[in-house]
Amino acid sequence: MPLVTAGVVVLDCAEPEKLAVFYKQLLQAEETEASANLVEIRAADGFRLAFRRDANATPPSWPRPENSLQVHLDFLVDDLDAAERRVVDLGGRPVEAKDASGPFEERGCSDPAGHTFTLRRTRQTGPKMG
């Protein structure tokens, strides 16, 4: 048994209930715990994400070049366009504009509270050869 196991990723925000709704719908997750200051959800694959009330929370300012990314979430998707549309429909927004045409391997987004995350295309594996 490992000495340390992964627990839960916690995002500080002013309104954890509202942010939990965004991620529950994005990840098709279920709420597993709720209190006055914390809401936790679990996705079908077991990924756990929690939202902790912080009345002084301010959103990160990334992608401005003078600021570091600090931390963000990566979500794996098969269809970047569909996933980005879903983010926008749920109240999130794209934060990286790409000028070139055609599909991209990843796209930066933020949730309604300003936390950044990346939608990353899952790698397509070809058929086994030989």
Q: Which CATH class is domain 59-124?
A: alpha beta
Q: Give the residue extent of every domain in the chain.
A: 8-55, 59-124
Q: Give the DSSP H or E segment for 86.
A: helix 80-89
pLDDT digits (tens, 9 = 90+) for 30-88: 999 999 999 999 999 999 999 999 988 877 776 666 655 556 688 889 888 999 999 99
Residue 130: pLDDT band by 50, 70, 90 thresholds? Answer: very low
Q: What is the pLDDT of residue 8?
A: 87
Q: State the architecture of 8-55 in CATH terms.
A: 2-Layer Sandwich (3.30)
Say what the alpha-carbon torsion angle 32, 53, 15, 33 is, to the nearest 10 degrees: 10
Do 8-55 and 59-124 share a fold?
Answer: no
Q: What is the pLDDT of residue 70?
A: 59
pLDDT digits (tens, 9 = 90+) for 118-127: 888 876 554 5
